[in-house]
Structure 1
């Protein structure tokens, strides 16, 4: 079987990971797990959750320029109570 682009599309379904997520991590009873559609399972497993924003090197360097460490190597200021 070939994908539309001509590349091999035969990849095994990740049953071990899906079973682990559904039965172990989510602790779904088997009858509930097997009754879910793929979309329902994906939603429960967090597939549609927003992805966290990651900094690029340029973003990190920009923050470092905007908020430079204080004198003394960047140690946090002393707090006296």
Structure 2
């Protein structure tokens, strides 16, 4: 696949620009100033994508690490 118009193969710039500028009706400057997290929140809020699943809190993560240890000598920063 040839790279054109500054696009990186595999990254959907054209689709993101279409949704950001067309569906969300963001001015170009505002679209390009958004962080990925802000863009994702805007897309979720507009119903364009499903919300990301919640991440486990620290207590749940520690409980899972204790229940399913990696093995001897594993360092989990705890």
Which has the higher Rg, Structure 1 or Structure 2?
1
Larger helix share, 1 or 2: 2
Give the TM-score normalised by structure 1.
0.44
Give the TM-score normalised by structure 2.
0.46
